[in-house]
A and B are shown apart, each in its own frame.
Chain A
């Protein structure tokens, strides 16, 4: 019947709309559902995942020693040419020549944070750090030397 269909159509339409309004009305009245995170204010409590891939860093221990042997496995694994390792030869106390890194150059602006260099490293010298606030005013500041000045390779790492 035409009139009956017409009325039920109107009824169903209106009730579906009211259902939607009930849902949004629920959220309007329940302020604890708000999920906004006020980012720069919550820096102190901000918790990033420990695996978060923000940038490549080279951990140094308290004696300013790292474990990078300068094998360039990471340089080869990198798809973008982000890493450049400059090696030198140290003279050990026994008088032998030993290969070591002079500068571990890391260009953050070219890095896609793919983690392949970290996976390729045989001596776990580099890792990903959960830093994400990378903005700087000068692009050249994004080119970093990861090994600290005067740092040495840890004993026993070949």
Chain B
């Protein structure tokens, strides 16, 4: 890898053969956080991209080792903060699996609904940010208007808008808000009306299409060998939806399609996410009227202790497959914890797929990889 002195040396001078080395980030409007890309350019053409991480490293894995199985869940909200619910679900599922806790049906269904709402919210934010990367500012505000409805629902039920910490091992922290169902239905209604706006402004737009079609092409075999998951891999024709492959919570009882596009370019990844939002709506519609009555949290011991051994649980976040791996020594805290975050693998293909394209294409490619830097750099 690069060391710091090398970075400084390289970037103060022109490289060999007229190469231009540009530091994009850690403070750059298109990197959505503190990602640092050392981009080697030849004119406008990209020759090499080297991502540099570490600007927002908070050693979350190490922190989790000193927290109990109830406490460590809240930290995971801070990894991929746009799908914090799903991160929390992954941890709760792992603890439940390790201790054989029975989760009530009500909790399972509510978790599923909330996970799908989180996915929609994340994709809404992504669609706005993606349009902004390509220079269209307005869709951002339209997307945030719908996302605001979701965060309002979250605020009502979970008490927070971004880092909810609503899911506990065994179920939910408290019952859903009495108006939860009506609000979710109102959201579905508005979403279905307004989703055509993205088609008018973004999807169908000739400039947007020409910016994304045939750009950043990732083949299916490359997607697998780089470990890509989520919409990035599904845009290349790999079916890798954990909700289908290894259903958790209430995903085994709902009907939905795994969206797969085969083109592998930025537009395919874009379309996967847009269509996934519709599938999420479909899942929510099936569940929202059928939330079973009963307890919202299962019976758990006061002090949670995982048996000695190794445990792994994977879920599908908005960005791809999140894996939680715990080595337990039988105590109240994990001995070793490891998160397999989707963003890290998705970022690793950037050099491969953006090489040889223009700087403008780098933005389109990076936008559709949907990078959340705290997720990559835990």
Contacts and interface: CB of A to CB of B under 8 A. Distances in A.
- Whether chain A touches chain B in the assembled complex (some CB pair under 8 Å): yes
Contacts of B74: 79, 112, 114, 116
A74 interface: no
Nearest to B63: A79
Contacts of A20: 200-201, 204-205
Contacts of B200: 19-20, 22-23
B155 interface: yes
Contact of B159 (A24, A35, A52, A116): A52
A116 B155 contact: no
A12 interface: yes
Interface in B187-218: 197, 200-201, 204-207
Given A79-B71, A79-B75, A112-B74, A17 B138 contact: no
Interface string A78-114: 1100000000000000000000000000000000111
A150 interface: no
Given A20-B205, A116-B74, A79 B156 contact: no
Contacts of A48: 155
Contacts of B160: 52-53, 113
B28 interface: no
B338 interface: no
What class of interface size applies to chain B in its complex with A?
20 to 34
B165 A12 contact: no
B349 to A, nearest CB: 30
A51 B201 contact: no
Interface in A17-54: 17, 19-20, 22-24, 35, 48-49, 51-53
Interface string A113-132: 11110010000000010000
A116 B75 CA distance: 12
Nearest to B78: A112
A20 B208 CA distance: 11
Interface string B300-338: 000000000000000000000000000000000000000
B140 to A, nearest CB: 13
Given A19-B204, A35-B145, A51 B71 contact: no
A12 B207 CA distance: 11
Contacts of B72: 79
B75 A17 contact: no
Given A17-B206, A79-B71, A112-B74, A119 B157 contact: no
A52 B155 contact: yes
B56 interface: no
B41 interface: no
A12 B210 CA distance: 13
Interface string B152-173: 1001111110010100100001
A79 B72 CA distance: 8
A113 B205 CA distance: 43
A36 to B, nearest CB: 10
A6 to B, nearest CB: 14
Interface of B: 67, 70-72, 74-75, 138, 145, 148, 152, 155-160, 163, 165, 168, 173-174, 177, 197, 200-201, 204-207
Give the 3 A-B CB pairs with smallest separation, nearest first: A79-B71, A13-B206, A51-B159
18 contacts: A17-B207, A20-B201, A23-B201, A35-B145, A49-B159, A51-B159, A51-B177, A53-B160, A78-B71, A79-B71, A79-B72, A112-B163, A115-B159, A115-B165, A115-B173, A116-B71, A119-B168, A119-B174
